[in-house]
Amino acid sequence: MARPPSTVDDEIFDLRLARSAPDLWPMLDAIYGHREDYADFRAALLKVLKKGWKDRPADLKSLDLKRDLEPDWFQRPDMAGYVFYIDRFAGTLRGILDKLDYLEDLGITYVHLMPCLKPRPGDSDGGYSVMDYRQINPAYGTMEDFEAVSAALRARGISLCIDLVLNHTAKEHAWAKKAAKGDATYQEYYLMFDTPDVPRRYEQSLVEVFPDNAPGNFTYYPGIGKWVWTTFNEHQWDLNWANPTVFLEIVEIMLFLANRGVDVLRLDAVAFMWKRMGTRCQSEPEVHMLLQALRACSRIASAAVLHLEEAIVAPAEMLPYLGRGRHDGREGNLAYHNSLMVQFWGALATRDTRLMTHVLGTHFPDRLTNATYATYIRCHDDIGWAITDEDAAAVGATGHGHRNFLSDFYEGSFPGTFAKGALFQVNEATGDKRISGTFASLAGLEQAVEAGDAAGVEAAVQRILMGHALIASYGGIPLIYMGDELALTNDYGYLQVPEHAHDSRWIHRPVMDWAVAGHRHDGASPGARVFWGTKAILARRRAVSALHGCVPVKVVSAGVDGVFAFLRAAPTGVVLCLFNFTEGWRRVPEAWVRGVGVTQMHDLLSDHPVEVFDGHVALPPYARVWLA
Ligand code: GLC
Ligand code: GLC
């Protein structure tokens, strides 16, 4: 006899709970177990999970099942992401519906809509200062519009990623407003201090994220009479994750968003979630326990949903976000491969791939469990030179000198540089300076066009395509940042916008140039060539099964100056990916190529045979080849 659907539904929930309970409760026991109200908290959490599941629409429940059956869906080579601001790309949420053909033309199967929840008015850190997690930014549309877009994307097989800021809310969030009025329950949601002593003690070991315009990590509010923890901007109040009610509230929000059709939650600024006196208050062990618990909650009540953890930190600190040690396979499904990005820019400036080979070859495992990287060359944020002194020393450089050189090079002040960018958050105290700029401008296009230098334009186009070929093959989901597929250059208009002028990151957040996009299929403009090249790279990626995210990545040294190499060791045979980071020709010995396992001299990227001359594979300037 067939069972009624509700029983089957309950059974699925119970099975999922049983599956993930061992990932969930031990984490919460350790963090909140000492509290008197812990049993109530557990009961309340179960209720939240059950309600989330009960509210989950039927089509999303079948997506849950589908993804249970295909747990590697996000690691497949047909995944290719595109990241954009809704207003800058399409005006409004509904506007996106008219752009889906464009995305499909490029080969996109995943979109990250930059912050789209209701931000505070005025400067909102690009939307990362959220005042209501259950409403859409009214400038973009409504929750109905959002659901219409999510359904349209799903119908086309495009996954949807949105931001969920976990570390802080806007000071205009309802919780913060109640806290400001003196409500003790809500003051517990944040980190508020009556006197400056404790903040001062914390400050001794904290770093500053925005030293330029938001120095320090605390803000005093005379009206409230309290010091409030504000790691980022003054208007972004850090949440108190030691309070289990915060955990409950966020899980409710996560499931609410999941049930609107979100596939990937990009958990913003997660490194900062746990505070411990005497530390930098970044990436503390509790952060990983909380993130594993949140992941388990999604797996129980919205199994199709993945977590992308945003932690832009050095390699050793970043890997745990993909689940290391006891969190193996249980934490983020995705995390940004910040080091790959930094090393790309480093090698491009120095024409030297030794540091890149060293860092990627020694600090990263060749495979991950239930997880993969989000690979990228540019995003909406600045580039911070996350290169340690030890790594620099391993190739005979000094960390400080090298980081400084890279900033000068990409700012455009280093003699002979091809790049044009802008400094971001120069920290006089530490000498640290970060960089803003679009892919195309940092890669030399803007300068070459201004100088009427045809060879420079050509080199810039090749650098961009090499970057896209790198992130398409390294292992993970390549994320193309809006405009980079058309080689859009820096947008200096932000200097005229009062809310943006202090933040040079707006230089690389241009408005989409639909005129250039309209000509992508005709002409030999840099924009058209980069579009075609990028589209071809993504198409070839789809065709090469060895680029699946779970195929091991082994960085190898070809021993040739300026060449970066890695192997994708697939059961069907290796693919050797080679990249020439210089404007000169490079020769890689055929014997070495065959020695690492290449049997056919066939380039899977161009889908053409590779000619061997004089016992060498010849690589033109900025060449990229995927040898089978
Ligand atoms: C993340 C975002 C960045 C924002 C910060 C604070 O790092 O990517 O744009 O400024 O979090 O929310
Ligand atoms: C992020 C990172 C930092 C980044 C900033 C936003 O969370 O920690 O490196 O530059 O916030 O720009």
pLDDT band for position 338 (cuts 50, 70, 90): very high
**CB atoms < 10 A from the CB of 225, how many?**
10
H helices within 165-263, ranges in order?
174-180, 184-187, 197-203, 244-258
User: 606: exposed, middle or buried (C-beta count within 10 Å: 0-12, 13-18, 19+)?
Assistant: middle
Our mutation pick for probing the ligand 2 site, out of 268, 272, 312, 376, counting the most ligand atoms within 8 A of Cβ, is: 312
Which strands, in side-by-side order, build the sheet including 624-627?
Answer: 553-556, 563-570, 573-580, 624-627, 602-603, 608-609
First CA to last CA distance, the chain: 54
CB 620 within 8 A of CB 555: no
Residue type, 364: F
Q: Is the pLDDT of residue 334 over 90?
A: yes
User: pLDDT tens for residues 27-60?
Assistant: 999 999 999 999 999 999 999 999 999 999 999 9
Q: Where are the beta strands (DSSP E) in 263-367?
A: 264-268, 306-309, 334-336
Q: Is the pLDDT of residue 428 over 90?
A: no
- pLDDT given at position 314: 87
Q: Is the pLDDT of residue 537 over 70?
A: yes
The residue-averaged pLDDT of 249-271 equals 98
Ligand 2 binding pocket, CB closer than 6 Å = 209, 269, 312, 381-382, 384
Our mutation pick for probing the ligand 2 site, out of 209, 308, 427, counting the most ligand atoms within 8 A of Cβ, is: 209
- pLDDT given at position 546: 97
Cα 337 to averaged position of ligand 1 atoms, centre (Å): 16
The residue-averaged pLDDT of 275-280 equals 98
Ligand with the closest atom to the CA of 282: 2
HEC string for 181-201: CCCHHHHCCECEECCCHHHHH
234 is catalytic: no
User: pLDDT tens for residues 457-475?
Assistant: 999 999 999 999 999 999 9
Give the separation between CA 360 and CA 565, rounded to whole angstroms.
10
For ligand 2, atom 12, the nearest C-alpha belongs to: 381
Our mutation pick for probing the ligand 1 site, out of 116, 125, 321, 503, counting the most ligand atoms within 8 A of Cβ, is: 125
Q: Is the pLDDT of residue 201 over 70?
A: yes
Buried b (16+ CB within 10 A) or exposed e, 381-410: bbbbbbbeeebbeebebeeeebbbbbbbbb
DSSP calls for 330-356: TS-SEEE-HHHHHHHHHHHHHT--HHH
Nearest to 80 by CA among 111, 115, 114: 111
For ligand 1, atom 8, the nearest C-alpha belongs to: 381
| Lowest pLDDT segment from 193-202, 268-277, 429-438 | 429-438
Pairing mode, strands 624-627 and 264-268: unpaired
- Nearest ligand 2 atom, CA 386: 9
**Taking all residues of the chain, what is their mean pLDDT, rounded to a whole number?**
97
Cα 514 to averaged position of ligand 1 atoms, centre (Å): 27
Nearest to 312 by CA among 321, 323, 325, 303: 321
Query: What's the distance, CA 28 to chain centroid?
Result: 27
From the list 64, 252, 310, 432, the catalytic residue is 310
Ligand 1 binding pocket, CB closer than 6 Å = 125-126, 128, 165, 232, 268-269, 310, 380-381
Ligand with the closest atom to the CA of 114: 1
Tokens of 469: 């070929």
The residue-averaged pLDDT of 543-559 equals 97
Q: Is the pLDDT of residue 429 over 90?
A: no
Residue type, 81: G
CB 151 within 8 A of CB 261: yes
- pLDDT given at position 621: 98
* pTM for the model: 0.96
109 Cβ contact list (under 8 Å, min separation 6): 78, 79, 80, 81, 157, 158, 159
286 Cβ contact list (under 8 Å, min separation 6): 31, 241, 273, 274, 276
Secondary structure (3-state) at 594 = helix
Secondary structure (3-state) at 463 = helix
Our mutation pick for probing the ligand 1 site, out of 128, 230, 273, 379, counting the most ligand atoms within 8 A of Cβ, is: 128
- Nearest ligand 2 atom, CA 310: 7
- pLDDT given at position 477: 98
Ligand with the closest atom to the CA of 128: 1
Cα 381 to averaged position of ligand 1 atoms, centre (Å): 7
pLDDT band for position 6 (cuts 50, 70, 90): confident
268 is catalytic: yes
Q: What is the helix, strand, coil percentage profile of the chain, to 5? A: 45, 20, 40
For ligand 1, atom 7, the nearest C-alpha belongs to: 269
- pLDDT given at position 214: 81
Q: Is the dihedral of CA 128, 375, 490, 140 positive or negative?
A: negative
- pLDDT given at position 298: 98
From the list 268, 432, 485, 583, the catalytic residue is 268
Q: Is the pLDDT of residue 5 over 90?
A: no
Tokens of 13: 């929930």
DSSP category for residue 547: G
Buried b (16+ CB within 10 A) or exposed e, 473-489: bbbbbbbbbbbbbbbbb
User: pLDDT tens for residues 563-622?
Assistant: 999 999 999 999 999 999 999 999 999 999 999 999 999 999 999 999 899 999 999 999
Pairing mode, strands 110-113 and 81-84: parallel
Distances (CA, A) of 588 to 105, 563, 610: 35, 9, 12
Q: Is the pLDDT of residue 141 over 80?
A: yes
The percent of residues in the chain predicted with pLDDT above 90, rounded, is 95
Give the separation between CA 552 and CA 574, rounded to whole angstroms.
10
pLDDT band for position 1 (cuts 50, 70, 90): low
| Lowest pLDDT segment from 284-288, 389-393, 519-523 | 519-523
Give the separation between CA 282 and CA 232, rounded to whole angstroms.
13
Cα 597 to averaged position of ligand 1 atoms, centre (Å): 42
For ligand 1, atom 3, the nearest C-alpha belongs to: 381
